A and B are shown apart, each in its own frame.
Chain A
Amino acid sequence: MRISKTLYLFFIPGFLLYFIFFIYPTASALFYSFTDWDGLSENFRYVGFENYERAFTGDSVFAKVFVNNLQFMFTVVVLQTLVALAFAILLVKNTKTNVFFRALYFFPTILSSVSVAFIWAFIYDPTFGILNSFLESAGLGAYTLGWLGDASIAIYCLAITQVWFHAGQMLIIFVAGLQSIPEDLYEVARIEGASKWQTFKSVTWPLLAPSATIVVAYTTIQSFKAFDLVFAMTGGGPNNATEIIATYIYEVAFRSYEFGYASAISVLFMIIIGIITYLQFKALRSDRVSY
């Protein structure tokens, strides 16, 4: 086919916006990360790798934030993947009730993070929250906790909220994956006299690997980006216990006006996500089989 010149016009509006509001700011984050810019004044100095040195050696909060983010990520990835997979297996057949339950589980995904944050703030509220009220009425009053107010468990409380928020979406991906596994393979397993666990291990799981890759990769990225939820639910508190990288960038840039340092953390953030995504795809790809 001959390509006429007007075809190039199709790229212009999108490319222009993408360049101005995405590529340019992302690239300038790299530039500002080598400066001491405060975000307001005209003047700033080139400071070399000072900001990066500070992130690695001079900032105990950043170290804590990084660990928080990893704790949040691991909890969400493990819990969300297990919950989604377990219920996908239970709800795999397209019966009317199963379709209803899947739609119900999916429901929280359409809410805004701020709404979900409020709902769960009420659940976790130490004085009249649903969770403590429930524990007390069940005679488990001894187990009531401060939840989000308790620095040692707050990040896990947030992780559970994140799972409630998004597991339904991952469940749908697993259901699609399970439904694409050919029925004859199960037939063969049955004839060979394989147990349920053996069938899962040698038929379902290997053929589910592509879906699992998507779920794990997506959940990981999502857990790094949980800015809205954390910001609205705890604001990073108590005592930075729930601060994650994304909220810390906001904090450093817009509360202490250290744009240069915030840019350096942003660049590190991008590198961390890049490495994790790469490692996951490598690890999960090796499990793949063809049939």
Chain B
Amino acid sequence: MLRRFPVIVYALLIIIPLIVVVLTSMKTIQQTFQNPLGVPEEGLQFENYVTLFEESNMAGYFMNSVIVTLFSVFFTLLFSAMIAFGITMLNNRLGSVIFAIFLLGMMVPAQVSMVPLYSLVLDLGLTNSLLGLILVNISVTLPIAVFILTGFMKTLPKELIEAAVIDGAGNWKVFARVVVPLSLPSMSAAAIFLSVIHWNDLLYPLLFVTDDTYVTLPLALLQFQGQYSTNYPMLFTGVIIASLPMVIAYVFLQRFFVAGITAGAMKG
């Protein structure tokens, strides 16, 4: 029982703020000022959700986030799997050099290149476009994905690949029919890790997007802060809408999330 006490206290430190967020999103600002923690006598209502969708382009931001996340995750996975496959098949010094080049990218924080990256994206005419966000996202998460996938592909049984090569399968066939299907466990872990990063990214929309048409959810939230100031009921309504897809996915795929994000951390 003594062991359980701190465990429960820390659990409450996580749960109470989350419950407050949900409750507050269903209160008015007056009710929040009067009693920040309680449930008002008048009961809870969904007014804020309606208002937020009416007053802002919430559906649009949501779609932008979905598009950017799906394309960024898919192409990061595809390109990094191809590179990891190349490194595994080369299995020589050139392979190690390529691997090291990507490893270097994992150590450099994104903020280091944000200044010249901004002018590059501006010169290429890719500001205010989802394509710009997707291309930058892929480039930034490629190193970590290469790292995770190379580590996994090197453990695949060589005999399987050799058998396919002897049977006359070309590189593409070996990649698509043998290596990718066998790498699905690590690819799905990487996919979850990447989804969380891309869905929640604030820096690149902040740098490259000024047109409301291309705003993604994290940037939209930040703009709500300017618009609604300390109107926490509205801010938390935004927080819940922006977090919902990841929360739902977490509830159902919890084990994979823990494995995926931790794999990313261990190797990052």
- Of A106, A123, A170, A246, the contact of B109 (CB 8 Å cutoff): A246
A25, CB-defined interface residue at 8 Å: yes
B13, CB-defined interface residue at 8 Å: yes
B203, CB-defined interface residue at 8 Å: yes
A18 CA / B98 CA spacing, docked (Å): 12
Given the known A-B contacts A21-B136, A169-B262, are A164 and B14 also in contact in the complex, defined by CB atoms under 8 Å?
yes
A266 CA / B109 CA spacing, docked (Å): 9
Proximity bits, B1-36, A CB within 8 Å = 1, else 0 = 001001100110111111011001000000011001
- How distant is A50 from chain B, measured CB to nearest CB, in Å? 17
Question: Which residue of chain A is the closest to B162 with respect to CB atoms?
Answer: A1
- Of B109, B146, B170, the contact of A225 (CB 8 Å cutoff): B109
Q: Is the CB of A112 within 8 A of B217?
A: yes
A205, CB-defined interface residue at 8 Å: no
Number of A positions contacting B (CB below 8 A): 87
B196, CB-defined interface residue at 8 Å: yes
Question: Which residue of chain B is the closest to A261 with respect to CB atoms?
Answer: B115
Given the known A-B contacts A21-B117, A262-B115, are A111 and B243 also in contact in the complex, defined by CB atoms under 8 Å?
yes
Q: Which chain A residues lie closer than 8 Å to B257 at the CB level?
A: 106, 110
Q: Is the CB of A18 within 8 A of B14?
A: no
Q: Which chain B residues lie closer than 8 Å to A13 at the CB level?
A: 79, 82
A164 CA / B15 CA spacing, docked (Å): 11
Question: Which residue of chain A is the closest to B140 with respect to CB atoms?
Answer: A22
- How distant is B110 from chain A, measured CB to nearest CB, in Å? 7
Proximity bits, B21-59, A CB within 8 Å = 1, else 0 = 100100000001100110000000000000000000000
A residues 24-60 touching B (CB-CB < 8 Å): 24-26, 28-29, 32, 39
Q: Which chain B residues lie closer than 8 Å to A14 at the CB level?
A: 79-80, 82-83, 142, 146
Q: Is the CB of A214 within 8 A of B165?
A: no
Q: Is the CB of B258 within 8 A of A102?
A: yes
Q: Is the CB of A114 within 8 A of B222?
A: yes
Given the known A-B contacts A22-B113, A266-B112, A270-B108, are A108 and B79 also in contact in the complex, defined by CB atoms under 8 Å?
no
Q: Is the CB of B139 within 8 A of A21?
A: yes
Q: Is the CB of B258 within 8 A of A25?
A: no
- How distant is A282 from chain B, measured CB to nearest CB, in Å? 15
Q: Is the CB of A224 within 8 A of B109?
A: yes
- Of B14, B85, B203, B221, the contact of A118 (CB 8 Å cutoff): B221
Question: Which residue of chain B is the closest to A259 with respect to CB atoms?
Answer: B115
- Mostly, the B contact residues are helix
- Of A110, A115, A262, A267, the contact of B221 (CB 8 Å cutoff): A115
B247, CB-defined interface residue at 8 Å: yes
Q: Which of A106, A118, A169 neighbours the largest number of chain B CB atoms within 10 Å of its CB?
A: A118
- How distant is B17 from chain A, measured CB to nearest CB, in Å? 5
A118 CA / B228 CA spacing, docked (Å): 12
Q: Is the CB of B239 within 8 A of A115?
A: yes
A135, CB-defined interface residue at 8 Å: no
A125, CB-defined interface residue at 8 Å: yes
B residues 78-101 touching A (CB-CB < 8 Å): 79-80, 82-83, 85-86, 89-91, 98
A10 CA / B217 CA spacing, docked (Å): 33
Question: Which residue of chain A is the closest to B109 with respect to CB atoms?
Answer: A225
A130, CB-defined interface residue at 8 Å: yes
Q: Which chain A residues lie closer than 8 Å to B114 at the CB level?
A: 249-250, 253, 266
Q: Which of B113, B232, B250, B261 neighbours the largest number of chain A CB atoms within 10 Å of its CB?
A: B113
Q: Is the CB of B200 within 8 A of A270?
A: no
B74, CB-defined interface residue at 8 Å: no
A103, CB-defined interface residue at 8 Å: yes
Question: Which residue of chain A is the closest to B83 with respect to CB atoms?
Answer: A14
A72, CB-defined interface residue at 8 Å: no
Q: Is the CB of A263 within 8 A of B11?
A: no
A129 CA / B8 CA spacing, docked (Å): 22
Q: Is the CB of A6 within 8 A of B172?
A: yes
Q: Is the CB of B6 within 8 A of A10?
A: no
Q: Which chain B residues lie closer than 8 Å to A101 at the CB level?
A: 7, 11
Supply 13 further A-B pairs (C-beta < 8 A) apart from A11-B83, A114-B222. Answer: A3-B90, A10-B83, A11-B86, A17-B135, A87-B6, A104-B11, A115-B242, A125-B230, A172-B262, A227-B203, A245-B111, A250-B111, A263-B116
A positions within 8 Å CB-CB of B:
1, 3-4, 6-11, 13-15, 17-18, 20-26, 28-29, 32, 39, 83, 86-87, 90-91, 101-115, 118-120, 122-123, 125, 128-130, 133-134, 164, 169-170, 172-173, 176, 214, 218, 221, 224-225, 227-228, 231-232, 245-246, 249-250, 253-254, 259, 262-263, 266-267, 269-270, 273-274, 277
Listed from nearest, the 10 A-B pairs whose CB atoms lie closest are: A21-B139, A112-B200, A14-B79, A25-B113, A10-B86, A25-B116, A25-B117, A28-B116, A10-B82, A246-B111
27 pairs, A vs B, C-beta closer than 8 Å? A1-B89, A3-B90, A14-B79, A14-B146, A17-B79, A21-B139, A22-B105, A32-B115, A83-B10, A87-B6, A105-B10, A105-B14, A112-B200, A114-B200, A118-B236, A119-B18, A119-B236, A122-B236, A130-B17, A130-B36, A130-B37, A133-B37, A218-B266, A227-B202, A232-B225, A266-B111, A274-B107
